[in-house]
Structure 1
Amino acid sequence: MEMCETTAATTAGGAAADERIPMKLIGAIVAVGSLAFIGILTETVMTVLFPQLMREFNVDTATVQWITTIYLLAVAATMPLSSFIKRRFRNKTIFVAAVVLAVLGSLIMIVAQAFPLILAARVIQGIGSGMATPLMMNIILEQSPRSKVGRLMGVGSLVITVAPAIGPTVGGAVTSVLPWRAIFVIVIPIILLISLPVGLKCIQQKHPTEDAVLNPLQFVAIVLALCGLIMFLNQAGVAVGAAVSGGEMTMPALVAVVSLVAGIGSLLFFGWSSRRSFSPLIRLGFLRNRIVLLHLLPYAILPMVGIGFGYVITNLAQLSLGTDAFVAGALVLPGALIGAFCAPIGGMLYDKFGPTRPILTAFAVATFATVLLLVCSMHLTPALLAGLYFIFGLSYALEFSNIMTSALREVPPAFTPDGNAVFQTSMQFGGAAGTALFSTILSVAQAGSGEEGSPEFAHATAVGGAWTFAVMTAICALSVVCLAMAFRLRGRASRSAH
């Protein structure tokens, strides 16, 4: 009897120990997460610097926007490779490569005196960020104790949700006292003195690598698809803005159409080729599961709102409410900070209650916040704008990362890197699409409304804000419907299994 009790106690103690979060795992998340955080942060910091960069390099608005667009293209083109890279190379090798690319890109940004060199540096940084973010998620999904996956995914989501939100604030604060290149001077010591040594000490390899083979035709197809679709969004926005303002729209419209055709054609070819390939770049078989698809759509379109808010709030605050750039960036900060604290809490709620109630409740509140912004859009004050975004940011951060965690429950473990690659790529694309969509809406509303700073222009910007909040509400509502359908299908499948 005593022996049985001792054995049971030992087993229980071993199980409890297995569920503890290893310190090396925390260190690995900190190392890779800080690298990914810096990459995403500098992406949004640069948007605040556009007026200064236009003067320094003597380029116009359409040209300077390529600093962000080309970065997004590099990230979007790299993330689909993450499944192949994860299977082919060791985690530390991937991490060191991402560190080298981040530091090299930052060094070029510091010394470059020509605009093409700035663009080359952004491509290098984009590739590094496109490697780091999926690596962080793969480490969490592979090495976390099962009962702690939700909260650790919440920690990982801080990188994705908080960095874009605080980027405008950081950019405004740093450039108000230092040259813009100081941002990249600051990040290099952080990467080399914190991220690199912690990563080398803590990152572990839990699964052996495979002799995976890169399919070059599929890689070219997915790069063309993502680049074509992002170029379509970018140039379609330019064309619509030019048409409304009476400018020349023929060339951007032509580029948009060609990009759309090339993007959709390449995407269809990639899907067709993947089904027939012995070793596809991304194994897409798990997408036959309707539950996964109903999670994937919200995960792709919600970042349009989550990341787009950073652009919308800063522009509404300056062009409609009359604040300066620093105050406009600071309005985003409360919602971003609450997101930083609450993303891990959302993961804990997932671990305790499962996905259904926490996710649906959080996004119902997020939808309600966008409805309030729509209702109050013509009577906003800076404080009201920040307060309502705070409600949205709290709800969004609580449960966004749990969407992917819930979806990957339906994916066989061997296909987890593929699922991670698809979800991360779709989220990146959604964020880029949101900025392009909302900037186009504001541009259309502002066209023909006088000079910037006039009452007519401010009113037109407020009208554009109302249109934007209406679109945000529709996106959030559609996401809630898709997730409710997914959970209903899962419940039905669970009942039939028993």
Structure 2
Amino acid sequence: MPETEQMRALDTEKIPLKLIGAIVAVGSLAFIGILTETVMTVLFPSLMREFHVDTATVQWITTIYLLSVAATMPISSFLKRRFPLKAIFLAAVALAVIGSLIMIVAHVFPLLIVARIIQGIGSGIATPLMINIILEQSPRSKIGRLMGVGSLVITVAPAIGPTVGGAVTAILPWRAIFVAVVPLVLIAAFIGMKCIEQKIPTEAAFLDPIQLGSIILALVGLVLALNQGGVAISAAVSGQAAAKSGVIAIVSLIIGLGSLLLFALSSKKAFSPLLRLGILRDPVVLLHVIAYLVLPLVAIGYGYVITNVSQLSLGVSAFVAGSLVLPGALIGVVCAPVGGWLYDRFGAVKPILIPIGIAIAGPVLMLIFSMHLTAAMLCGFYFIFGFFYAVGAANIMTSGLSGVPHEFRPDGNAIFNTCLQFGGAAGTALFSTILAVAQAGAGEEGTSRFAHATAVGGAWTFATMTVICLIGWGCLAAAFRIRATRR
């Protein structure tokens, strides 16, 4: 190849600075949403005291946020087809600011829930927008690395969130976090308006209210069923009335499953479906999606479990509890782009299966030592999980979408991100339920009996995490096995 042609080829593979700016700007909105979510997680014991709510109730601050994100994700494909990227971005900015302002002035628990719904919708718009920009505008040879950068932008929030939450409660009211969020969002808005570019024209897409309503009902119903089922079990264990919660759980499950079926049927017949689900007919894509649904149960729920077990069982402060998550989460931030580089260099199989397989050692070790854990052990075992999980998980969506036709990738992106956020919401609800069941009838917080019950709940939780990780790893292994037979 002549030298001029080689130089031209190299130029086409350069990453435009505006693309980096767009990724950072849009990713910052997702970053801020996840940051506030993880900050609130470490503040649960304080919020329980301030607003006079129990463990099963306070976790809705996290669950409702993740559920709002998950309910918004399915419309991301429609939004991208119908509206300019900058308009979508500005909508996410406005929602982030409004939600933060409500959090600053909220003095009753229901108002906190409203604010988290608004912030969740904003993050639900921003996260798939960032991934769509990467998939649409990245040079082909750099897509793994840029997906890693996207993961870094998002995963840095869980890394610093618990520590920020603990530090803030030590020196300032927790509302100071949201005072700081507003100018950060405005800075991101300025960068985004300068850097976001429209590469593909919009089209006349339509939003079917039946599809939108059914998917929202499905997601809400399934998470509510899990939550209320846990409340019913917890009440039954402690000898309290459980019939009301049990009925709500059963009805929610029926509504959730029925709505999910309605969504699938209406999408199949619609002229302009909210999500084109046909890509799930490919078992390779479907198995990647299942893994991307179940693994976040552990990844997102881990921060909740560690910070609450360490405070309620080991008796450490909120600041120390938040700091326990920091090393594992920070190393995960660094490793996400490394995982993308390994994907570009070696393909999908080894950079995904090997690190995620090793990451399972984290919850296994926590299970083995569950009744004799120290703060240092919690930190170290989470470090093992965070390091290896970040290397492998950053590539799951990239691998799953690699065989999807370009025109269907926004739909695949929406499906994967919906599963990610729903998995996180379900994980937080599941693990808080397990802890609540273990704590039922164990007396007041601060007693040795309550601390022991929390440790038992931690053991159950770590066992559940191990099983979930094995299921996710098995799905990915099966997907790669099927893909290998096609070559």
Range of TM-score over shorter length: over 0.9
Whole-angstrom CA distance in 1 between matches of 2:472 and 2:58: 33
2:82 corresponds to which residue? 88
* 2:361 aligned to which of 359, 368, 390: 368
| 1:474 aligns to 2:485 (yes or no) | no
* Cα distance change of structure 1 residues 109 and 270 upon mapping to structure 2, 3 Å threshold: same
The range that moved more, 459-468 or 234-243, is 459-468
Per the TM alignment, residue 148 of structure 1 is displaced from its structure 2 partner at its CA by 1.1
2:270 corresponds to which residue? 277
| 1:245 aligns to 2:233 (yes or no) | no
The range that moved more, 99-108 or 116-125, is 116-125
Whether the 8 Å CA contact 1:224–1:266 is kept in 2: the answer is: yes
* Cα distance change of structure 1 residues 208 and 39 upon mapping to structure 2, 3 Å threshold: same
| 1:26 aligns to 2:20 (yes or no) | yes
| 1:421 aligns to 2:414 (yes or no) | yes
Whether the 8 Å CA contact 1:48–1:172 is kept in 2: the answer is: yes
1:175 corresponds to which residue? 169
Q: How does 1:21-420 map to 2 (within 5 A)?
A: 21-54=15-48, 56-57=50-51, 63-192=57-186, 194-420=187-413
Whole-angstrom CA distance in 1 between matches of 2:443 and 2:115: 37
Per the TM alignment, residue 57 of structure 1 is displaced from its structure 2 partner at its CA by 4.8
* Cα distance change of structure 1 residues 44 and 150 upon mapping to structure 2, 3 Å threshold: same
Q: What's the CA shift string for 1:393-441, capped at 9, x where partnerless?
A: 0011112120000000121100001000000001101111111111222
Larger of the two Rg values belongs to structure: 1
Per the TM alignment, residue 335 of structure 1 is displaced from its structure 2 partner at its CA by 0.4
The range that moved more, 54-63 or 216-225, is 54-63
Whole-angstrom CA distance in 2 between matches of 1:71 and 1:374: 29
Q: What's the CA shift string for 1:339-396, capped at 9, x where partnerless?
A: 1111001100000001101111101101122222222222222111111110100011
Which amino acid letter does the alignment assign opposite residue 125 of structure 2? M
Which amino acid letter does the alignment assign opposite residue 249 of structure 2? A
* Cα distance change of structure 1 residues 16 and 288 upon mapping to structure 2, 3 Å threshold: same
Q: What's the CA shift string for 1:304-351, capped at 9, x where partnerless?
A: 110111011112212222212211111000001101111001100000
Whole-angstrom CA distance in 2 between matches of 1:159 and 1:253: 40
Whether the 8 Å CA contact 1:302–1:479 is kept in 2: the answer is: yes
Whether the 8 Å CA contact 1:174–1:183 is kept in 2: the answer is: yes
SS state at 1:106 partner: helix
Whether the 8 Å CA contact 2:63–2:428 is kept in 1: the answer is: no
Whole-angstrom CA distance in 2 between matches of 1:69 and 1:377: 25
SS state at 1:323 partner: coil
1:440 corresponds to which residue? 433
* Cα distance change of structure 1 residues 102 and 50 upon mapping to structure 2, 3 Å threshold: same
Q: Percent identity between the aligned chains?
A: 68
Whether the 8 Å CA contact 2:351–2:392 is kept in 1: the answer is: yes
SS state at 1:331 partner: helix
Whole-angstrom CA distance in 2 between matches of 1:384 and 1:68: 26
Structure 1: any 5+ residue segments left out of the alignment?
none
Whether the 8 Å CA contact 2:293–2:423 is kept in 1: the answer is: yes
Q: What's the CA shift string for 1:11-35, capped at 9, x where partnerless?
A: 2211111111111111001101111
Which amino acid letter does the alignment assign opposite residue 12 of structure 1? Q
Per the TM alignment, residue 56 of structure 1 is displaced from its structure 2 partner at its CA by 4.7
1:16 corresponds to which residue? 10
SS state at 1:176 partner: helix
Whole-angstrom CA distance in 2 between matches of 1:62 and 1:449: 15
SS state at 2:486 partner: helix
* Cα distance change of structure 1 residues 476 and 65 upon mapping to structure 2, 3 Å threshold: closer
Per the TM alignment, residue 61 of structure 1 is displaced from its structure 2 partner at its CA by 5.3
Whether the 8 Å CA contact 1:79–1:130 is kept in 2: the answer is: yes
The range that moved more, 110-119 or 283-292, is 110-119
SS state at 2:404 partner: coil
Structure 2: any 5+ residue segments left out of the alignment?
none
